Amino acid sequence: MTNFNLDNFWNAERDEHLDTATKTFETLKDDFARLLDICATSVSSGGKILFFGNGGSAADAQHLATELTVRYVSDRKPIPAIALTTDSSALTAIGNDMGFDQLFARQVNALGNAGDVAIGISTSGQSKNVLLGLKAAHDKELITVGLSGRDGGKMADVCDLLMVVPSNTTARIQEMHITLGQMLCGALEQKLGLV
Protein backbone atom coordinates (compact mmCIF):
# COMPACT_ATOMS: atom_id res chain seq x y z
CA MET A 1 0.00 0.00 0.00
CA THR A 2 1.23 3.49 -0.83
CA ASN A 3 0.92 6.56 1.34
CA PHE A 4 -2.11 7.76 -0.59
CA ASN A 5 -3.37 11.14 0.61
CA LEU A 6 -7.12 11.29 0.07
CA ASP A 7 -7.35 14.99 0.93
CA ASN A 8 -4.79 15.93 -1.72
CA PHE A 9 -6.46 13.72 -4.31
CA TRP A 10 -9.94 15.00 -3.45
CA ASN A 11 -8.93 18.66 -3.60
CA ALA A 12 -6.95 18.27 -6.84
CA GLU A 13 -9.87 16.52 -8.58
CA ARG A 14 -12.33 19.12 -7.31
CA ASP A 15 -10.14 22.03 -8.41
CA GLU A 16 -9.50 20.61 -11.88
CA HIS A 17 -13.19 19.81 -12.37
CA LEU A 18 -14.32 23.28 -11.28
CA ASP A 19 -11.68 24.97 -13.45
CA THR A 20 -12.74 22.95 -16.50
CA ALA A 21 -16.42 23.57 -15.83
CA THR A 22 -15.83 27.32 -15.47
CA LYS A 23 -13.84 27.49 -18.71
CA THR A 24 -16.45 25.39 -20.52
CA PHE A 25 -19.29 27.67 -19.44
CA GLU A 26 -17.24 30.76 -20.37
CA THR A 27 -16.29 29.57 -23.86
CA LEU A 28 -19.04 27.31 -25.24
CA LYS A 29 -22.30 29.21 -24.67
CA ASP A 30 -22.58 30.45 -28.27
CA ASP A 31 -21.74 26.99 -29.63
CA PHE A 32 -24.34 25.46 -27.31
CA ALA A 33 -26.95 27.92 -28.58
CA ARG A 34 -26.09 26.89 -32.13
CA LEU A 35 -26.31 23.18 -31.21
CA LEU A 36 -29.72 23.74 -29.65
CA ASP A 37 -30.99 25.54 -32.76
CA ILE A 38 -29.60 22.81 -35.04
CA CYS A 39 -31.30 20.04 -33.07
CA ALA A 40 -34.60 21.89 -32.61
CA THR A 41 -34.80 22.73 -36.32
CA SER A 42 -34.08 19.14 -37.32
CA VAL A 43 -36.57 17.58 -34.91
CA SER A 44 -39.25 20.15 -35.80
CA SER A 45 -38.79 19.21 -39.46
CA GLY A 46 -39.21 15.48 -38.83
CA GLY A 47 -35.53 14.71 -38.34
CA LYS A 48 -33.72 12.76 -35.66
CA ILE A 49 -30.48 12.89 -33.71
CA LEU A 50 -27.85 10.15 -34.07
CA PHE A 51 -25.26 9.84 -31.28
CA PHE A 52 -22.07 7.77 -31.41
CA GLY A 53 -18.70 7.33 -29.73
CA ASN A 54 -16.41 4.73 -28.15
CA GLY A 55 -16.01 3.60 -24.55
CA GLY A 56 -17.24 6.27 -22.13
CA SER A 57 -18.42 8.29 -25.13
CA ALA A 58 -20.54 5.29 -26.21
CA ALA A 59 -22.13 5.34 -22.77
CA ASP A 60 -22.81 9.07 -23.18
CA ALA A 61 -24.39 8.42 -26.59
CA GLN A 62 -26.73 5.82 -25.08
CA HIS A 63 -27.52 7.98 -22.07
CA LEU A 64 -28.45 11.04 -24.16
CA ALA A 65 -30.48 9.15 -26.76
CA THR A 66 -32.46 7.58 -23.90
CA GLU A 67 -33.08 10.95 -22.23
CA LEU A 68 -34.57 12.21 -25.49
CA THR A 69 -36.64 9.20 -26.49
CA VAL A 70 -38.01 8.51 -23.00
CA ARG A 71 -37.98 11.58 -20.74
CA TYR A 72 -35.63 14.06 -19.15
CA VAL A 73 -37.50 16.35 -16.74
CA SER A 74 -41.08 15.17 -17.10
CA ASP A 75 -43.33 13.00 -19.23
CA ARG A 76 -43.70 14.45 -22.71
CA LYS A 77 -43.77 13.52 -26.38
CA PRO A 78 -40.63 11.54 -27.34
CA ILE A 79 -37.82 13.26 -29.21
CA PRO A 80 -36.39 11.01 -31.96
CA ALA A 81 -32.82 9.98 -31.15
CA ILE A 82 -30.72 6.86 -31.71
CA ALA A 83 -27.43 5.73 -30.17
CA LEU A 84 -25.42 3.86 -32.81
CA THR A 85 -23.61 2.01 -30.02
CA THR A 86 -26.32 -0.35 -28.78
CA ASP A 87 -27.13 -2.96 -31.43
CA SER A 88 -24.71 -5.79 -30.63
CA SER A 89 -25.60 -7.70 -33.81
CA ALA A 90 -24.90 -4.71 -36.03
CA LEU A 91 -21.73 -3.80 -34.14
CA THR A 92 -20.27 -7.29 -34.33
CA ALA A 93 -21.31 -7.86 -37.95
CA ILE A 94 -19.86 -4.54 -39.10
CA GLY A 95 -16.71 -5.05 -37.03
CA ASN A 96 -16.23 -8.57 -38.37
CA ASP A 97 -17.24 -8.03 -42.00
CA MET A 98 -16.13 -4.45 -42.69
CA GLY A 99 -13.76 -3.54 -39.87
CA PHE A 100 -14.14 -1.56 -36.66
CA ASP A 101 -13.43 1.71 -38.49
CA GLN A 102 -16.76 1.35 -40.36
CA LEU A 103 -18.85 0.83 -37.21
CA PHE A 104 -20.66 4.17 -37.33
CA ALA A 105 -20.37 5.08 -41.01
CA ARG A 106 -22.28 1.97 -42.04
CA GLN A 107 -25.10 2.72 -39.60
CA VAL A 108 -25.22 6.40 -40.59
CA ASN A 109 -25.56 5.32 -44.23
CA ALA A 110 -28.39 2.95 -43.28
CA LEU A 111 -30.31 5.15 -40.84
CA GLY A 112 -29.40 8.78 -41.50
CA ASN A 113 -31.32 11.15 -43.72
CA ALA A 114 -30.53 14.64 -44.97
CA GLY A 115 -31.43 17.13 -42.26
CA ASP A 116 -30.86 14.71 -39.38
CA VAL A 117 -28.18 15.60 -36.82
CA ALA A 118 -25.15 13.35 -36.29
CA ILE A 119 -23.33 13.95 -33.00
CA GLY A 120 -19.95 12.24 -32.79
CA ILE A 121 -18.30 12.13 -29.37
CA SER A 122 -14.52 11.70 -29.01
CA THR A 123 -12.44 13.13 -26.18
CA SER A 124 -9.36 13.28 -28.44
CA GLY A 125 -11.10 14.07 -31.71
CA GLN A 126 -8.99 11.32 -33.28
CA SER A 127 -11.23 8.23 -33.16
CA LYS A 128 -11.18 6.93 -36.72
CA ASN A 129 -14.61 5.29 -36.59
CA VAL A 130 -16.16 8.50 -35.22
CA LEU A 131 -14.44 10.58 -37.91
CA LEU A 132 -15.64 8.22 -40.63
CA GLY A 133 -19.15 8.27 -39.16
CA LEU A 134 -19.15 12.07 -39.30
CA LYS A 135 -17.79 12.03 -42.84
CA ALA A 136 -20.54 9.62 -43.93
CA ALA A 137 -23.08 11.90 -42.27
CA HIS A 138 -21.64 14.95 -44.01
CA ASP A 139 -21.75 13.15 -47.37
CA LYS A 140 -25.44 12.31 -46.79
CA GLU A 141 -26.19 15.96 -45.88
CA LEU A 142 -26.79 15.37 -42.18
CA ILE A 143 -25.74 18.23 -39.92
CA THR A 144 -22.55 17.10 -38.22
CA VAL A 145 -21.63 17.99 -34.66
CA GLY A 146 -18.52 16.96 -32.75
CA LEU A 147 -17.99 16.92 -29.01
CA SER A 148 -14.29 16.78 -28.26
CA GLY A 149 -11.52 18.07 -26.03
CA ARG A 150 -7.82 18.88 -26.21
CA ASP A 151 -7.33 20.62 -29.60
CA GLY A 152 -10.35 18.96 -31.26
CA GLY A 153 -8.18 16.58 -33.25
CA LYS A 154 -9.31 15.96 -36.81
CA MET A 155 -13.01 16.55 -36.12
CA ALA A 156 -12.98 20.12 -37.45
CA ASP A 157 -12.59 18.71 -40.97
CA VAL A 158 -15.89 16.79 -40.79
CA CYS A 159 -18.06 18.89 -38.45
CA ASP A 160 -20.45 21.73 -39.14
CA LEU A 161 -20.15 22.53 -35.43
CA LEU A 162 -17.28 21.42 -33.20
CA MET A 163 -17.53 21.93 -29.44
CA VAL A 164 -14.12 21.51 -27.79
CA VAL A 165 -14.00 21.23 -24.01
CA PRO A 166 -11.01 23.29 -22.82
CA SER A 167 -9.10 20.49 -21.11
CA ASN A 168 -6.46 17.86 -21.86
CA THR A 169 -7.72 15.45 -19.18
CA THR A 170 -10.00 12.70 -20.47
CA ALA A 171 -12.08 12.49 -17.29
CA ARG A 172 -12.75 16.23 -17.23
CA ILE A 173 -13.64 16.25 -20.93
CA GLN A 174 -16.10 13.39 -20.39
CA GLU A 175 -17.66 15.19 -17.42
CA MET A 176 -18.30 18.25 -19.56
CA HIS A 177 -19.62 16.18 -22.48
CA ILE A 178 -22.35 14.64 -20.32
CA THR A 179 -23.07 18.04 -18.75
CA LEU A 180 -23.47 19.66 -22.17
CA GLY A 181 -25.50 16.68 -23.39
CA GLN A 182 -27.91 16.79 -20.48
CA MET A 183 -28.25 20.55 -20.85
CA LEU A 184 -29.13 19.93 -24.51
CA CYS A 185 -31.88 17.52 -23.45
CA GLY A 186 -33.39 20.00 -21.00
CA ALA A 187 -33.10 22.98 -23.34
CA LEU A 188 -34.50 21.01 -26.29
CA GLU A 189 -37.57 19.97 -24.30
CA GLN A 190 -38.25 23.62 -23.51
CA LYS A 191 -37.42 25.02 -26.97
CA LEU A 192 -39.74 22.49 -28.60
CA GLY A 193 -42.49 23.38 -26.12
CA LEU A 194 -42.75 19.86 -24.78
CA VAL A 195 -42.68 20.73 -21.06
Residue pLDDT, tens place only, 39-93: 999 999 999 999 999 999 999 999 999 999 999 988 999 999 999 999 999 999 9
Q: Hey, what long-range contacts does 23-28 have (CB within 8 A, 24 or more apart)? A: 23/166, 23/167, 24/165, 24/166, 24/176, 24/179, 24/180, 27/166, 28/163, 28/165, 28/180
Neighbour count for residue 148 (Cβ, 10 Å): 27
Task: State how far the Cα of 49 lies from the Cα of 65, in Å rounded to an integer.
Answer: 8
Please state which of the four CATH numbers 2.40.160.40, 3.40.50.10490, 3.40.470.10, 3.30.70.890 is assigned to the domain occupying 8-191.
Answer: 3.40.50.10490
Residue pLDDT, tens place only, 101-127: 999 999 999 999 999 999 999 999 999
Task: State how far the Cα of 77 lies from the Cα of 10, in Å rounded to an integer.
Answer: 41
pTM (2 decimals)? Answer: 0.97
Q: Which burial class, exposed, middle or buried, applies to 15 when counting CB atoms under 10 A from its CB (0-12, 13-18, 19+)?
A: exposed
